[in-house]
């Protein structure tokens, strides 16, 4: 199993280019099922989640061709399979997004119950309710979700919670349904807007993405779009936290700073200097971080995908911080590993109390999920001595060339296979 060895305690400097957004890329790749012919996607992060999803698309009959390191051509033939097999789907939560696009395109879909990061229970009830409202019959059988409909018809759908995946899945299924679909209490994440932009550039009629209500007027056919995926706000946030913890001066390129507002607000409260400038962000870590309180919420609240990284940052802040995790039950897995590095964190249900310490020290730790792994990487950069981070495959799911990017900034980091 691969591990990362990081010699900490160094200040970083220079420029880092942020890759395309993982969560946009997976939704947008799944949406390509809806388009007959060749779609070109730019700014695609070549991370393992994306590669696995592209492989599943190939198994469904699509032709995949990387045009360069970050552009991919996806050609979907007239006839495609509607069943995504168990083995690959199990390792990727986002494969559930194939349900909406397959249902929209083929009128039937069969996708194994998805895997991905173990963040606690991740039900699919909102997705299923949405498909049913559009006229599909949905069943869960032998670890597969099966959906079928002779005819999808627009409907009014209210989501009990603004779920990102359910919003995306219903948008895709509704894009070619007959008539108007109105979805209320939808997710407002930038990735939803990116998906709506892709669908609209293919000829769909999606209005309201980024607000609480999305309206979709179904169309009989969609064209093949050419689309550039938005930058990854979570990767950018992770580098902001790395700069903050190591007292470094960094420039982040290829960012949309407005997508990072909730993260930037907390960074500034903690004493970090953050200066957005066009598609760049300049960040300067302070001599001493201040404790802050954080609550994760659906967008535009503080993103749960940045919670482990800010927890890591606050381990060396002056004072006591409280972190409340409101989205996922098992999202505090970085805490015990950070404690091995000298952090002082107490967990009580979904609340973490972080008492800042002067310094972290190197240790042998395990990346238990994607963002917990990122939290350990940035902690290791700030820690005294060497940290060994095991379980790298989870970090590779969502960060493109993490160690190369860090090495370019002056970090002493080495992958050992
Ligand atoms: C997406 C992101 C993930 C991020 C999460 C929350 C992708 C590929 N992943 O995941 O990185 O952490 O949004 O911002 O985009 N829920 C239900 N029933 C459902 C669906 C969700 O109860 O049918 C609940 C979940 O248990 C969770 C909350 O809604 O508590 C948010 O989940 P959701 O927004 O659906 O997350 P994902 O789309 O899985």
How many CB atoms sit inside 10 A of residue 290's CB?
15
Instruction: List residues near ligand 1 (CB under 6 A).
Output: 23, 26, 93-94, 122-127, 161, 163-166, 187, 191, 304-305, 327-328
Nearest protein CA to atom 31 of ligand 1, as residue: 163
Q: How does strand 273-277 pair with strand 280-284? A: antiparallel
Compute, in angstroms, the gap from residue 328 CA to the centroid of ligand 1: 8
Task: Evaluate the omega torsion of the peptide bond into residue 336 and state whether it is cis, within 30 degrees of 0.
Answer: no
Section 119-144 average pLDDT: 87
Least-confidence region, from 124-128, 351-355, 385-389:
124-128
Q: What are phi and psi of 373, to 5 degrees?
A: -65, -45
* Atom 25 of ligand 1, nearest CA residue: 122
Residues 232-288: tens digit of each pLDDT: 999 999 999 999 999 999 999 999 999 999 999 999 999 999 999 999 999 999 999
* Residue 179 in tokens: 């008539």
Q: Global pTM?
A: 0.97
How, if at all, do strands 294-295 and 320-324 pair? parallel
Place of tokens 């591990």: 3
DSSP string covering 55-105: HHHHHHT-EEEEEETTEEEEEE-SS---EE-HHHHTT-GGGGGHHHHHHHH
Residues 6+ apart with CB under 8 A from 75: 37, 38, 39, 62, 63, 64, 65
List the residue whose alpha carbon is closest to atom 38 of ligand 1. Answer: 165
Q: How many CA atoms lie within 13 A of 70 on its CB side?
A: 18
Average pLDDT over residues 368-396: 96
């Amino acid at each position: 199993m691969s591990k990362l060895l990081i010699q900490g305690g160094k200040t970083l400097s220079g420029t880092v280019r942020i890759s395309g957004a993982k969560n946009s890329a997976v939704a947008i790749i799944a949406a390509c099922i809806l388009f007959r012919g060749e779609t070109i996607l730019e700014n695609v992060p070549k991370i393992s989640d994306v590669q696995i999803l592209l492989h599943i698309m190939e198994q469904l009959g699509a032709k995949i061709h990387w045009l360069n390191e970050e552009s991919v051509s996806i050609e979907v033939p007239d006839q495609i399979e509607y069943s995504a097999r168990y083995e690959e789907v199990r390792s990727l939560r986002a494969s559930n997004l194939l349900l909406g696009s397959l249902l929209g395109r083929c009128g039937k879909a069969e996708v194994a119950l998805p895997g991905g990061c173990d963040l606690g229970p991740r039900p699919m009830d909102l997705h299923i309710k949405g498909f049913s409202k559009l006229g599909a019959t949905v069943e869960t059988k032998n670890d597969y979700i099966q959906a079928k409909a002779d005819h999808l018809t627009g409907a009014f759908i209210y989501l009990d919670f603004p779920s990102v995946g359910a919003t995306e899945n219903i948008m895709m299924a509704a894009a070619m349904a007959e008539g108007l679909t109105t979805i209320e209490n939808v997710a407002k994440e930038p990735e939803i807007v990116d998906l709506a932009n892709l669908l609209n550039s293919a000829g769909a009629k999606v209005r309201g993405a980024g607000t609480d209500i999305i309206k979709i007027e179904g169309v009989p056919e969609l064209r093949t779009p050419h689309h550039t995926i938005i930058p990854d706000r979570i990767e950018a946030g992770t580098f902001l936290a790395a700069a903050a913890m190591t007292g470094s001066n960094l420039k982040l390129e290829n960012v949309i700073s407005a997508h990072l507002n909730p993260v930037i607000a907390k960074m500034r409260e903690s004493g970090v200097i953050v200066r957005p400038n066009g598609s760049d962000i300049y960040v300067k870590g302070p001599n001493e971080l201040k404790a802050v309180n954080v609550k994760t919420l659906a967008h535009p609240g503080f993103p749960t995908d940045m919670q482990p990284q800010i927890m890591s940052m606050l381990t060396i802040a002056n004072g006591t911080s409280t972190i409340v995790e409101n989205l996922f039950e098992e999202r505090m897995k970085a805490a015990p590993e950070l404690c091995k590095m000298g952090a002082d964190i107490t967990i009580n249900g979904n609340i973490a109390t972080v008492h800042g310490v002067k310094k972290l020290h190197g240790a042998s730790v395990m990346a238990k999920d994607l963002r917990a792994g990122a939290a350990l990487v940035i902690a290791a950069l700030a820690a005294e001595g060497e940290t060994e981070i095991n379980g790298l495959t989870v970090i590779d799911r969502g960060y493109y060339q993490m160690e190369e990017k860090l090495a370019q900034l002056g970090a002493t980091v080495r992958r050992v296979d």
